[in-house]
């Protein structure tokens, strides 16, 4: 089954480029376009996309507010709300933080390679949020106080298997699925299965929330490398 995608950008040329990029990909289908945030909200109701590729700066309702409205809408008969991936030319803190507060599942810059954008679309559906590398460090620094005492461990953490706990720690350290697979000597499919079970057991929306939880719970210490050393 194809992942249904809605393209939202106030520049027609950008929408056309994204449409061309996604057209012909077997597992992705562009089901609609919108030129502003209000139209995006309406198109979500009409087209029922799985993923919305959302610009930030648009006339009227911007992408952040549109994301907030989309993610706050009543859940339909499918039991799912569309995932929103912010796609912008502006790598600014305020947009990143507000986007995730609004419920976005990913944040990429428009100059990201085609395959990275496709990975973001596919991953969003699976709860595997993809964040531009330049954003990750500041995202963690903003949400996590490295000098604070670890918060109480969340319900469900004790239910993780040893391998799932290991995967959560490595996700918190920023490893991609491919890096996880190589490190653990398993397939990427197995990695995705582990991450899906972790999200379900901990009641998390996506990978971004898993990263934040890993830091807040003290599973990962800010500044540590994946090998346990210090940056």
Q: What are 100-134's pLDDT values in tens digits?
A: 778 888 888 888 888 888 888 887 877 666 666 55
Confidence category of residue 152, pLDDT binned at 50, 70, 90: low
Across the chain, mean pLDDT equals: 82
Are 174 and 182 contacting, i.e. CB atoms less than 8 angstroms apart? no
List, in order of start, the domains of the chain with CATH numbers: 3-141 (3.40.50.2300), 146-216 (1.10.10.10)
Q: pLDDT at position 231, please?
A: 42
pLDDT in tens, 19-57: 999 988 889 999 999 999 999 999 999 999 999 999 999
Cα separation, 86 vs 93, in Å, equals 13
d(C-alpha 124, C-alpha 52), whole Å:
10
Q: What is the pTM of this model?
A: 0.69
> Cα–chain-centroid distance for residue 226?
21
Query: What confidence score (pLDDT) does residue 100 get?
Result: 79
């Amino acid at each position: 089954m194809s992942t249904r995608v809605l393209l939202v950008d106030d520049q027609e040329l950008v929408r056309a480029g994204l449409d061309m990029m996604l057209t012909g990909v077997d597992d992705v289908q562009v089901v609609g376009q919108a030129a502003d945030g209000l139209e995006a909200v309406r198109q979500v109701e009409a087209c029922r996309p799985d993923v919305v590729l959302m610009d930030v700066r648009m006339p009227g309702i911007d992408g952040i507010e549109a994301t907030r409205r989309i993610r706050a809408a009543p859940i339909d008969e499918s039991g799912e709300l569309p995932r929103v991936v912010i796609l912008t030319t502006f790598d600014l803190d305020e947009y990143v933080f507000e986007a995730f507060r609004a419920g976005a599942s990913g944040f990429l810059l428009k100059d990201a390679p085609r395959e990275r954008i496709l990975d973001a679309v596919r991953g969003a559906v699976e709860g595997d949020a993809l964040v531009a590398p330049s954003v990750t460090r500041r995202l963690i620094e903003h949400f996590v106080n490295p000098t604070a005492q670890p918060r109480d461990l969340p319900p469900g953490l004790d239910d993780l298997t040893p391998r799932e706990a290991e995967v959560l720690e490595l996700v918190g350290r920023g490893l991609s699925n491919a890096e996880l697979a190589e490190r653990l000597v398993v397939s990427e499919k197995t990695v995705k299965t582990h991450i899906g079970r972790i999200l379900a057991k901990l009641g998390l929306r996506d990978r971004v929330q898993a990263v934040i939880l890993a830091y807040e719970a003290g599973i990962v210490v800010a500044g540590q490398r994946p090998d346990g050393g210090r940056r």
